[in-house]
Structure 1
Amino acid sequence: MYKIIAIDIDGTLIDSGGNIQPNTAKAIKTACAQGIVVTLSTGRSYHSALYYAKKLNIKAPLISANGSMIRDPLNGEVKQCHNFSNKNLSKILGALKSEKELFIQGYHLDGIVSFGKNNIINLTKMLNGTNRFSLKNTLRMLKDYKESKVRIKRNLTVDDGYQIHKFFIVGPKKGCKFLEEKLERFQCVIEPHYIGNHGYLEIIPNRVSKGEGLRWLAKYYNIPMEQTIAIGDSGNDVSMFKKSGMAIAMANGTKEAKSNADHITFSNNDNGVATAIKEFALVSKKDFGIVKRIV
């Protein structure tokens, strides 16, 4: 029996419209009622993940920022936080300083500091891999800005005092690839994603990943890793796929995610998460009733 379910957010928990489908919410609620620990494991910041955790009444610590921040959704207690050392942060900021065409965000304890080419309309175009403007996506991004407590600065230095545990960088494909090569010299993990002529980089400290976050959570609840399920759709989910007892990729997932999964469920627009939970984690209503009566 599986006792922990870790669910990615973008492309997994939420559909292409940014919504949690009713069947998904119902399946998660049922899993929690049956004593299964359900958490979110995401590249998003803690504050952004918290918005969805509250909607689902998730009580387990959230694995955010690719595993670099694990934090309680009920009281905000930091369970684990892996910040860049000041020395390494200084090197990374030095490399970023010369990149004028990139949109840059640094995740810290209290939110996100954003600098570089801060044009939210261009950002939504690049993240969609297209040059077409979408008012709906831009409004959704603005909403996420509010949830994530984003503060915009012209520049960022170590002297500003921010303890950064993740960088999120978006820009032209050429610029991202050039930066990726520069950052490979430093002590950090780089998770690249390329869409059309654009790309984005997720940069976290060494030895940090969603997989390590899931392992911490299993130890926290004293549950063997063999009894964990990981559900996701992209490259940053592979680390938890490799460590979990069962790895489930979305039908809309990347080739990398699918090739590292044990099973492939339906897409995020077709109740994929709900189907996976019902198929592999939930006790049938009849059996669950018997268990409740015996207890």
Structure 2
Amino acid sequence: MFNNKIEMILLDMDGTLLNSQSEVSPKNKEILKQLISEGYKVAIATGRNYHEARSLVEDIVGLAYITNNGSYIVDFNGEVIFNRNISKEDTISLLKIIEKYPSFNYSLAAPKEIYMKNKFKFIKMSLTDKRVFKNKLNIFKSVSLIKRLIRLFKSRRQIDNIYELIENGSLAVQKIDVMGKIDEMESFKERIIEQFGDKIKLSSSSKDNLEINPLNISKGTGLKYLADKLGIDVRNSIAFGDGGNDLELLEIVGTAVAMANSEFNELKEKADIIAESNDDDGVAKVLAELL
């Protein structure tokens, strides 16, 4: 459906608002600031945790945040209005299954921290991913990519006593992000559904990952919760996304926008508009045309 009465704008980050160097382009930044000044409600809807998401757009004042795929929501006044974790027992059981797959790596996201099983393995997996370097072979973009990986490396913590932190309550996990080989991910997903299907929510931001959240948590439920608090009809919202974890978000808004760079055909089929890629200011161009 398409609704030209827009009150709220929802933006995924990676592959959507952010370019390939994990930065908000000047054009995207300019139009968001303009729309906020005109009274539009603009919210980030991301799989990233709150601390990391906010750090990437900290110079854009007046945003709300739906983070960790809807597990942690901060309103336009900076108040936490929703906060839900995976149970300690389920987190430990899930990790024990994930660790049976030697090729997998994982991270555990809380609102402020991200703990990673193996930071060096994460960097190695990123550097050997051919998609990362697609159309990014010039010196400037290569340097930007290295800087991005360094930022990710520094922002994640690697510790040996992860189970102890979970058991004593020091780490409340809101999302488990599993990365690995695409040909192993489907069988892993089936195994997780068989054992935890009625306890968790699964989604993917790319073909080689699986994101595990508490049951009935998604960017879509996050939007409904935020919109209800504001008294806004979700049909008067426009949402932009590129990943599988954006699907429910795009299904419920009045105007759904998929990015041209998305690798999820189902997402594009649900969209009212296909925006130009995240490296071509797709968000800014659609918003400038509609609003």
The answer to whether the superposition gives a TM-score over 0.5 is yes
Secondary structure of 1:12's aligned partner: coil
Is 1:242 equivalent to 2:251 in the alignment? Answer: yes
Is 1:144 equivalent to 2:152 in the alignment? Answer: yes
1:86 and 1:8 map into 2 onto residues whose CA distance is 28
- Give the aligned partner of residue 86 of structure 1: 88
2:96 and 2:220 map into 1 onto residues whose CA distance is 29
1:117 and 1:101 map into 2 onto residues whose CA distance is 14
Instruction: State which of 170, 173, 176 in structure 1 corresponds to 2:179.
Output: 170
Q: How far 1:239 moved relative to its partner? A: 0.6
2:185 and 2:147 map into 1 onto residues whose CA distance is 25
Residues 155 and 138 of structure 1: CA distance in aligned 2, closer, same or farther (over 3 Å): farther
Is 1:62 equivalent to 2:65 in the alignment? Answer: yes
1:20 and 1:109 map into 2 onto residues whose CA distance is 21
Q: How far 1:135 moved relative to its partner? A: 6.0
Q: How far 1:118 moved relative to its partner? A: 4.1
2:118 and 2:186 map into 1 onto residues whose CA distance is 17
Q: Is the 8 A contact 2:68 2:111 kept in 1?
A: no
Residues 54 and 74 of structure 1: CA distance in aligned 2, closer, same or farther (over 3 Å): farther
Q: Is the 8 A contact 1:120 1:138 kept in 2?
A: no
Residues 50 and 74 of structure 1: CA distance in aligned 2, closer, same or farther (over 3 Å): farther
2:128 and 2:66 map into 1 onto residues whose CA distance is 26
- Give the aligned partner of residue 154 of structure 1: 160
- Give the aligned partner of residue 74 of structure 2: 71
Residues 200 and 160 of structure 1: CA distance in aligned 2, closer, same or farther (over 3 Å): farther
2:133 and 2:26 map into 1 onto residues whose CA distance is 32
1:102 and 1:269 map into 2 onto residues whose CA distance is 29
2:237 and 2:152 map into 1 onto residues whose CA distance is 29
Normalised TM-score (structure 1):
0.84
Q: Is the 8 A contact 1:102 1:175 kept in 2?
A: no
RMSD of the TM alignment (CA)?
A: 2.4
Q: 1:115-141 CA distances to partner (integer Å, 9 max, x unpaired)?
A: 157424313135554799966434302
- Give the aligned partner of residue 13 of structure 2: 9
Residues 164 and 73 of structure 1: CA distance in aligned 2, closer, same or farther (over 3 Å): farther
Q: How many residues align?
A: 274
Q: How far 1:152 moved relative to its partner? A: 0.5
1:191 and 1:8 map into 2 onto residues whose CA distance is 14
Alignment of 1:145-224 (within 5 A): 145-146=153-154, 149-154=155-160, 156-157=162-163, 158-161=166-169, 162-184=171-193, 185-186=195-196, 187-192=199-204, 195=207, 199-224=208-233
Q: How far 1:225 moved relative to its partner? A: 1.1
1:129 and 1:252 map into 2 onto residues whose CA distance is 11
Q: Is the 8 A contact 2:119 2:156 kept in 1?
A: no
Instruction: State which of 37, 41, 66 in structure 2 corresponds to 1:37.
Output: 41
Q: Is the 8 A contact 2:204 2:245 kept in 1?
A: no
- Give the aligned partner of residue 274 of structure 2: 264
Is 1:21 equivalent to 2:33 in the alignment? Answer: no
Q: Is the 8 A contact 1:101 1:116 kept in 2?
A: no
Q: What are the ranges of 5 or more consecutive residues in structure 1 without an aligned counterpart? A: 283-295
Q: How far 1:173 moved relative to its partner? A: 2.4
Q: How far 1:193 moved relative to its partner? A: 5.5
- Give the aligned partner of residue 116 of structure 2: 114
Give the aligned residue type for 1:251: A
Work out the percentage of aligned pairs sharing the same amino acid.
29
1:35 and 1:117 map into 2 onto residues whose CA distance is 41
Residues 88 and 121 of structure 1: CA distance in aligned 2, closer, same or farther (over 3 Å): closer
Residues 234 and 94 of structure 1: CA distance in aligned 2, closer, same or farther (over 3 Å): same
Q: 1:54-113 CA distances to partner (integer Å, 9 max, x unpaired)?
A: 1322x23201111111125875x4221221122322321221232332211001133111
Q: Is the 8 A contact 1:116 1:155 kept in 2?
A: no
Secondary structure of 2:23's aligned partner: coil
2:128 and 2:211 map into 1 onto residues whose CA distance is 15
